[in-house]
Amino acid sequence: MSSDSIRSVQKIGLWTTVSFVIANMIGTGVFTSLGYQLNVTENVITILLLWILGGVIALGGALVYGELGAVMPRSGGEYHYLSVIYRPWVGFLSGWVSLTVGFAAPVALAAMALGSYTSRIFPSLSPQNIALSVLLVITLIHALDVKLGARFQVVFTSFKVILILVFISCGFLLTENFQSFSSSFQSFRLKELYQPGFYISLIYVTYAFSGWNASAYIASEIENPQRTLPLSLLISTVIVTLLYFLLNLTFLLTTPAIELKGQLEVGYIAAAKIFGSAGGRIMAMLISILLISTISSMVFVGPRVTQVMGEDYKILGFLAERSKRGTPVYAILLQFSISFFMILTSTFESVLTYAGFTLNLFTFLAVLGVFVHRIKFKTAERPYRTWGYPFVPLIYLAVILLTLIYLIFSRPFESLMGFITLFSGIIIYFLNFWYERKKETTV
């Protein structure tokens, strides 16, 4: 079967695309980061404001990516955008980060969280072995067939959204004594929004929202991407923002903050308060199944970025190869290997901070790129234009810049690891340059 026939038959529509974006967004972050936020601030109002701000930031980014994706409808996301807007080496670094951090790290984190939740129910099982086994099975599914992976994704994403809605509803209907927010209202001061802890917590929130740009990575596999891509970004981001706010409100209303503080399995702890110990274990199992959707989505989307890099750089050319069923099998296996290694060697919180810093750096450059693109390509046809331009992208840039600055000073090790990742990408880029020159001289 030719690559053209594969591409023509296996395009995905709006709601499948929306399911991938939602699955990318909802997962590890929202079911784990609240405990870390409570380590920084115990004021409930501040925490709820963080989740609202996270949604606003993601929506602002989605509005900009809608324009970039409509005017440059090729798979690859930031890798493609930054290559066109700035220089190919900037795009390469973005693709390198997506390869090493952007998808492999969140896949590892989701698998680790799934293992931790599952081991609460079955203490005899090793969290690490659970994580590695689930990663292997999902990778095999997506390596076999594009359509099989898409159907798998829609089913699990639907289950994810239904489960969250049931959890929220039961939290409000079954809880007899809600936690009081009166002390938080009395102690809240606007100056909390200027404290370093606020921006450290915002890193956890923006990580939870990461994935709002997922459909930009698979634009070439979407039907009518000029229309579908921006629409999928907007629909998904609005839905997830509402779900996140209500879910965290449910956690905080049903469970004392002191019991959630510093805990990874906040969903399990809150579920035990709502449903009792037995019901909590069942809900924890369902949350574990829910995380399968997150892993699945990123296992599908991530290798598409790697594949596009393989098409453009000869030293990575093997990553562009597809199987007879249309899957970028080598790219999938490479991402699997990196995620597998992270599960074996890394701690959850350090990977979370490292990934949040590095990913925000490149979404910052991409959103800044909408200004540069309009200047460099004034005559380009723009099927969709960023709503609220230039204020929406400027607000996004200001908040993300503050977050990055605070993180560099407060989490220097994780920030340094992010810069080391960038440096390694520069080395690979110039090795490719040398490799291509060598091939030209030998021909």
Dist CA 115 CA 113 (whole Å)? 5
pLDDT of residue 153: 60
Which residues, in sequence order, are CB contacts of 403 under 8 Å at separation 6+?
199, 202, 203, 206, 360
CB burial of residue 115 (10 Å; 0-12, 13-18, 19+): buried
Nearest to 23 by CA among 298, 265, 259: 298
The reported pTM is 0.75
pLDDT for residue 250? 92
| Residue 246 confidence (pLDDT) | 92
Classify the C-alpha dihedral 265-254-38-102 as positive or negative. Answer: positive
Name the amino acid, one letter, at 299. V
Q: Which residue has the tokens 């081991």?
A: 119
320-334 pLDDT, tens digit each? 787 777 778 888 888
Instruction: Give the pLDDT confidence score for residue 76 in this predicted structure.
Output: 64
Q: Which two tokens stand for residue 352?
A: 């979370």
Q: What is the pLDDT of residues 80-100, one digit of tens each?
A: 889 889 988 898 888 888 777
Contact 214, 228 (CB under 8 A): no
Using alpha carbons, select from 362, 25, 432 the residue that is nearest to residue 211.
Answer: 25
Where do the domains of the chain lie, and which CATH numbers do they carry?
3-442 (1.20.1740.10)
pLDDT at position 244, please? 92
Report the distance separating Cα 337 and Cα 317, nearest Å.
18
Closest listed residue to residue 50, CA positions, set 263, 244, 256, 183:
244
CB 295 within 8 A of CB 76: no
Q: What is the Cα–Cα distance from 394 to 408, expressed in whole angstroms? A: 21
- In residues, how long is the chain? 443
Give DSSP secondary structure letters for 364-403.
HHHHHHHHHHHHHTTT---SS--TTTTHHHHHHHHHHHHH
**Low-confidence spans in the chain with pLDDT less than 70:** 1-11, 27, 74-76, 145-154, 156-157, 183-188, 191-192, 214-221, 225-226, 305, 440, 442-443
Report in angstroms the alpha-carbon separations of 163 from 62, 212, 296, 297, 420. 25, 20, 17, 17, 39
What is the residue type of 324? Answer: K
Q: Check residue 99 and give its pLDDT.
A: 76
